[in-house]
Structure 1
Amino acid sequence: MARTLEHAQLPALARGFSLLGSGGGGATTMLELALVDDEHWPVTLHELDDLDPSLPCLGAAFVGSTMLLGERLPGAAPFGRLIAAAERWLGHPVPVVCSLEGGGLNGLTPFTLTGDRLLVDADLTGRAVPGLDQMSLLVDRVPGVIAACDTGAGGVMLVETDRPIDLERVIRSATIQAGGVGGTVFAGFTVGDLVEHSVHGGTRRALELGAAFLRARSAPLPELAAALGGRLLGQGRITAVEPDARDPHVNSIGVDGDRGQVHRIVTRSETLAFMTDGRLEASAPTIIVVLDAVSRDILEVTDLTLARTIAVLELPAPGWWSERGERLRHVVPSAYGLADLDGAA
């Protein structure tokens, strides 16, 4: 059943998508500001069953360094040229929009397109992930999916390929040429394709998580974790931040626990694993959330600095990934070259 979302629910949505970012996906602040105008609200959020399965759909997201968006703000219609190129290629308009990435700032991206499109509560990840080849439609090899992206100076590139890794590499190269960040649009699929090949209810989950977080933010940490449907993994003070010898993008964060334990957090662009006294407690695709233990701010991996006192929570992974082993292998730590951290999802 369709539901109406009001502007007053935007903070809860944003906090929920921040939680689902698992330490990545970018801060939601920019899009919260972009969506502050009343012209965007109210928004009707449709379930998949509400819509004709034959309706064409698209997903939009910012790709690259989300930190650069704070310095190079996108224009009023950052996806306009990309959607126009996709519709020209397909030969028809695309009336429905879903979320491309269900965590971080991109959870809010489809809300910028609801003026002339129907918003459906489905997304292609259920959490933040770093690679476009990890989008559910590509993981399940749905045929006919295309992608359009920025190349800089008003340029647009469109990609159609049967190899997901090609799409990831080509768009990543174009994004670098565009200055390190840009828009990307997926199209060539339908609402019906999303029934099997997407994570359902991610926006509803974000809203519920965000509302629970705002209500329980000041509660004791175990109670806050329980209010979110998760558990408290540990808390303590960061005493070491060390890059991995195998991959400079991977960091090992040492934490002295408040009860004498030794915790370790492994991060890349998201938080991938949490260990206590050498025992693996949680790993991707489980959503590992790090909070500032004092302010209760939701932290990104770049915020994990020496001497900061933190709390680490675990939230359940989107079930879509574990339904098939072929899906799961795309989001466990070994997908990032960290095979010894698989197995706690």
Structure 2
Amino acid sequence: MTATHISPDDLPALSVGCTVFAGGGGGDPRIGELMAMVAIRELGPVEVRPLDGFDDDDLIMPCGMIGAPTVMMEKIPNGAEGRVIRESYEQQFGRPVAAVMPFEMGGINGVLPVAWAAYAGLPLLDADFMGRAFPELQMLTPHLYGMPGSPAVITDERLQTIVFTTRDNIWLEKLVRNAVAAMGGSACGGLYPMTVGQARRPAISGTVTRAIRMGEAILGGGDDPLAAIAEVAPMVRLGQGKVIDIERRTSGGFVRGSALIDGLGDDKGRLFRLEFQNENLVVIEDGEPLATVPDIITLLDVHTGHGIVTEMIRYGQRVEIVAFDSPAVWITADGLKAVGPRAFGYDFDFVPVAERASGSAPTRVAGGFRA
């Protein structure tokens, strides 16, 4: 990546990095990568700019896809959704959008906004509101600060568009999820529109460039991609194994299910259970959690180091199960209430993965994450 722009050569690295930090979610990034490739080749590189590169009153457009990742594999965007969302916000706020921003840094949602930025001739903000991917619309950092997710603009590939203004973000999740289900299980959306000044508190900065660095490390990591990954972001290795069973169902705009992973090599004789709701939620062994949300649980292909999103888990895959520290905002009391294990129905509390693994203080990560 050049100092300030994403070119076609950077997109494979961004795509791979987004599979690692997504925690299994966000959707398969390959379609978004292809759409961004076409847009950049036609219109030129997309500028990547930090928050400090904007005026406080500049309007930003956090955006991405919403719905079940399994549906997104076949029901793809038509490319104009970003324009529809942007025009709707400009009409509502009476001024132009100054920057596009991925609302989550994972899967297709870390890549597709690059295409929308290219088509709009706008910069991409080097930040997001999750630092990973989560399944529900109140699971974005502005929610923790009492900031509204509406007006939210939802549009499908037919460009049928709905604007939601709700009493709170829990109702936003309920109403948008029902609308997305009626649209066929996936759609594109803009959420939590705000000014740069307002975004300074909830934004997790540097996540776009961090994903690119991760992808570059993996693609250039030679025979040891895991070592290359650890150079970019400290991680805890939970085990290596073969996927021996996968159960997955799509309902209500989510993909829910689990995978059984039989240990191999030094982990032979161990059996891991991974449970997910779009994103990986917990890894369990012998009835005890090894890692839980909000830490980032990722399956890596043992041969390539690429992350495997939940809809692409297949029988027979050889995987490394790893976990990265959560962004710091999610391990606060309010953060854990929104995205901790109990928010997903588990009857246990969050313990940082590094602490579970070693009994010591968790590893700290810079760049907007734990510091």
Above 0.5 in TM-score? yes
Shift of 1:151: 6.3
Distance 1:308 1:149, change over 3 A: same
Residue equivalent to 1:201: 206
Residue equivalent to 2:347: 339
Shift of 1:252: 5.3
Residue equivalent to 1:283: 292
Residue equivalent to 2:239: 234
Residue range with higher mean Cα deviation, 282-291 or 8-17: 282-291
Residue equivalent to 1:273: 282
Q: Which runs of 5 or more structure 1 residues have no equivalent in the other structure?
A: none
Q: Which amino acid aligns with 2:30?
A: T
2:81 aligns to what SS in structure 1?
coil
Q: Which amino acid aligns with 2:51?
A: L
Check conservation: 2:51, 2:125, Cα contact below 8 A: yes
**1:256 is the counterpart of 2:257:** no
Distance 1:29 1:248 in 2: 18
Check conservation: 1:18, 1:28, Cα contact below 8 A: yes
**1:19 is the counterpart of 2:20:** yes
1:105-124 counterparts in 2 under 5 A? 105-114=108-117, 115-124=120-129
Distance 2:217 2:90 in 1: 39
CA-to-partner distance for each residue in 1:76-106, whole Å, 9 max, x for gaps? 3122223222222222222222111111110
Q: Which amino acid aligns with 1:41?
A: G
Residue equivalent to 2:334: 326
Distance 1:294 1:208, change over 3 A: closer
Check conservation: 2:128, 2:207, Cα contact below 8 A: yes
Residue equivalent to 2:367: none
1:1-345 counterparts in 2 under 5 A? 3-37=4-38, 38-114=41-117, 115-143=120-148, 145-150=150-155, 153-186=158-191, 188-216=193-221, 218-219=223-224, 221=226, 223-229=227-233, 230-241=235-246, 249-251=256-258, 253-259=260-266, 260-294=269-303, 296-322=305-331, 324-340=332-348, 342-345=350-353
Check conservation: 2:47, 2:122, Cα contact below 8 A: no
Q: Which amino acid aligns with 1:331?
A: V
TM-score (norm: length of structure 2): 0.83
Check conservation: 2:69, 2:278, Cα contact below 8 A: no
Distance 1:40 1:319, change over 3 A: farther
Shift of 1:152: 7.4
Residue range with higher mean Cα deviation, 65-74 or 330-339: 65-74
CA-to-partner distance for each residue in 1:257-290, whole Å, 9 max, x for gaps? 4333333322221111224455433211111111
Q: Which amino acid aligns with 2:327?
A: P
Check conservation: 2:58, 2:98, Cα contact below 8 A: yes
Q: Which amino acid aligns with 1:272?
A: L
Distance 1:152 1:71, change over 3 A: closer
Shift of 1:185: 0.9
Distance 2:243 2:17 in 1: 25
Q: Which amino acid aligns with 1:50?
A: G
Check conservation: 1:18, 1:103, Cα contact below 8 A: yes
Check conservation: 1:40, 1:111, Cα contact below 8 A: no
Distance 2:176 2:344 in 1: 19
Residue range with higher mean Cα deviation, 255-264 or 120-129: 255-264
Q: Which amino acid aligns with 2:207?
A: G
Residue equivalent to 2:358: none
1:249 aligns to what SS in structure 2?
strand
Q: Which amino acid aligns with 1:15?
A: V
Distance 1:241 1:67 in 2: 14
1:330 aligns to what SS in structure 2?
helix
Check conservation: 1:64, 1:175, Cα contact below 8 A: yes
Check conservation: 1:86, 1:158, Cα contact below 8 A: no
Check conservation: 2:102, 2:109, Cα contact below 8 A: yes
Residue range with higher mean Cα deviation, 47-56 or 265-274: 265-274
Shift of 1:55: 0.8
Distance 1:20 1:78 in 2: 25
CA-to-partner distance for each residue in 1:140-191, whole Å, 9 max, x for gaps? 2125842111267543211122410111111111111212211111254111
Check conservation: 2:63, 2:102, Cα contact below 8 A: yes
Check conservation: 1:6, 1:41, Cα contact below 8 A: yes
TM-score (norm: length of structure 1): 0.89
2:97 aligns to what SS in structure 1?
coil
Taking only the aligned residue pairs, the percentage that are identical comes to: 26
Check conservation: 1:281, 1:344, Cα contact below 8 A: no
Shift of 1:220: 6.8
